[in-house]
Amino acid sequence: MRFENQTVFVTGGGSGIGRETALRCAREGATVVVADVDREGGEETVAAIEDLAGDADAVELDVTDADAVRDAVDAAADTHGLDVMVNNAGIAQSNDPLEEVSLEERDRIVDVNANGVWNGCRAAIPHLKAQGSGAIVNVASLAGVVGQPWSAAYAMTKGGVAKMTRSIAWELGRHGVRANAVCPGFTDTPMVQGGLEERDDPEAAREALERRYALKRLGDPEEIAAAICFLASDDASFVTGHELVVDGGFTCG
Ligand code: NAI
């Protein structure tokens, strides 16, 4: 029970990796605040936690709204305390080359994937610093580590998230607070399923993708949640400023 008597705040907790992270933290004893712009998704995650006799609150939150993020994190910290901040909310990019991505789409991706993580860190850090302990886990991507075509805006945000995490690890270390990033490869969540469904032959597209992994499959969201929970827990007490690639061997060859 690595998160007994701890509170974990998860953005984008209403689906995919965020949902599995929330569930895993709850199973390991945490009170979980499930924040998502999709109210229904967040409530479903909370219901699943309550089915496990766990403790969770749903908060409808758009991570691009810095004031709302601060208010939600302050409220969670006042009610439950705050030990772990998981900045996971993110959106995908249309499958287009850079020059065909509209500026509106680029700005939206930057706002959610980069500024949203910034807003979560900005809100959580004062609480973690004040108590002199805690951990931040930011969800970046393999697209922030290696080049992937038709992902330029997404990659720009994910590379930025990974590097800003290293930067804040320096700022926070002296306060007893750790900050790490997880860089998942393709993981079987609604985000990826949606992208595959847009292809002419979704099944063939999935198989082509799977062949690129040493393990010959996509990740399960539970496997990314396991890595997030490792970095969030005392098992990683001497790990900070790390970009943990969880990619089924995509980058090993
Ligand atoms: P998902 O689409 O299943 O879940 C994302 C969640 O974030 C959704 O519940 C959505 O409502 C929420 N969200 C979106 N915009 C938001 C906003 N402005 N404010 C608050 N919540 C918002 O996606 P998945 O796959 O679980 O992705 C989670 C994170 O993992 C994202 O940051 C994504 O970029 C990253 N990632 C995913 C990979 C994959 O292959 N699925 C690979 C690498 C990284």
Position 253 pLDDT exceeds 80: no
Q: Give CA 69 to chain center in angstroms.
A: 15
16 CA distance to ligand 1 middle (Å): 7
27 CA distance to ligand 1 middle (Å): 21
3-state class (DSSP) for residue 118: helix
Q: Is residue 2 part of a domain?
A: no
Contact in structure between 82 and 7 (CB atoms under 8 Å): yes
For 154-176, what is each residue's pLDDT tens digit?
999 999 999 999 999 999 999 99
Q: Is residue 213 part of a domain?
A: no
Contact in structure between 162 and 145 (CB atoms under 8 Å): yes
Task: Determine the pLDDT at residue 187.
Answer: 98
Position 31 pLDDT exceeds 80: yes
Q: Determine what percent of the chain is predicted with pLDDT higher than 90.
A: 97
35 CA distance to ligand 1 middle (Å): 12
pLDDT mean across residues, the chain: 97
DSSP code for 142: G
- Give, using CA atoms, the residue closest to atom 17 of ligand 1: 62
Number of domains in the chain: 1
Length of the chain: 253
For 49-96, what is each residue's pLDDT tens digit?
999 999 999 999 999 999 999 999 999 999 999 999 999 999 999 999
Q: Is residue 212 part of a domain?
A: no
11 CA distance to ligand 1 middle (Å): 9
Q: Is residue 251 part of a domain?
A: no
For 196-252, what is each residue's pLDDT tens digit?
998 999 999 999 999 999 999 999 999 999 999 999 999 999 999 999 999 999 999
Q: Residue written as tokens 């569930």?
A: 23
Q: Which tokens in the block code for residue 47?
A: 């219901």
Active-site residue numbers? Answer: 154
Phi then psi for residue 54, to 5 deg, are -90, 180
Q: Is residue 79 part of a domain?
A: yes
Q: Select from 9, 68, 4, 5 the least CA-distant residue to 33.
A: 9
For 192-205, what is each residue's pLDDT tens digit?
999 999 899 999 99
- pTM score, two decimals? 0.98
102 CA distance to ligand 1 middle (Å): 20
Pocket lining for ligand 1, CB < 6 angstroms? 11-12, 14-18, 36-38, 41, 61-64, 88-91, 112, 116, 139, 141-142, 184, 186-187, 189-192, 221
CATH of residue 55's domain is 3.40.50.720
Q: Is residue 215 part of a domain?
A: no
Contact in structure between 205 and 106 (CB atoms under 8 Å): no
Q: Is residue 238 part of a domain?
A: yes
In ligand 1, the atom with minimum distance to the C-alpha of 17 is 26
Q: Is residue 209 part of a domain?
A: no
Put the strands of the sheet holding 55-60 in their side by side order: 55-60, 31-36, 7-11, 84-87, 134-139, 177-184, 243-246
In this structure, how many other beta carbons lie within 10 angstroms of the beta carbon of residue 80? 18
Q: What angle do helix axes 152-173 and 116-131 make, rounded to 10 degrees? A: 10
**Structural domain of residue 66, as residue ranges?**
7-187+221-245
In ligand 1, the atom with minimum distance to the C-alpha of 89 is 7
Q: Is the dihedral of CA 46, 60, 241, 147 positive or negative?
A: positive
Task: Determine the pLDDT at residue 192.
Answer: 94
For 32-48, what is each residue's pLDDT tens digit?
999 999 999 999 999 99
Q: Which tokens in the block code for residue 120?
A: 């979560």
User: What are the start-end ranges of the H helices in 11-113?
Assistant: 16-27, 39-51, 66-80, 103-109
Q: Which tokens in the block code for residue 194?
A: 């949606």
Average pLDDT, stretch 179-194? 96
β-bridge mates for residue 23, sequence order: none
In ligand 1, the atom with minimum distance to the C-alpha of 219 is 40
Instruction: Pick from 23, 85, 111, 189 the residue to mutate for probing ligand 1's pocket: most ligand atoms within 8 Å of its CB.
Output: 189
Residue-by-residue DSSP string for 183-248: EE-SB-SHHHHHHHHTSSSHHHHHHHHHHTSTTSSPBPHHHHHHHHHHHHSGGGTT--S-EEEEST
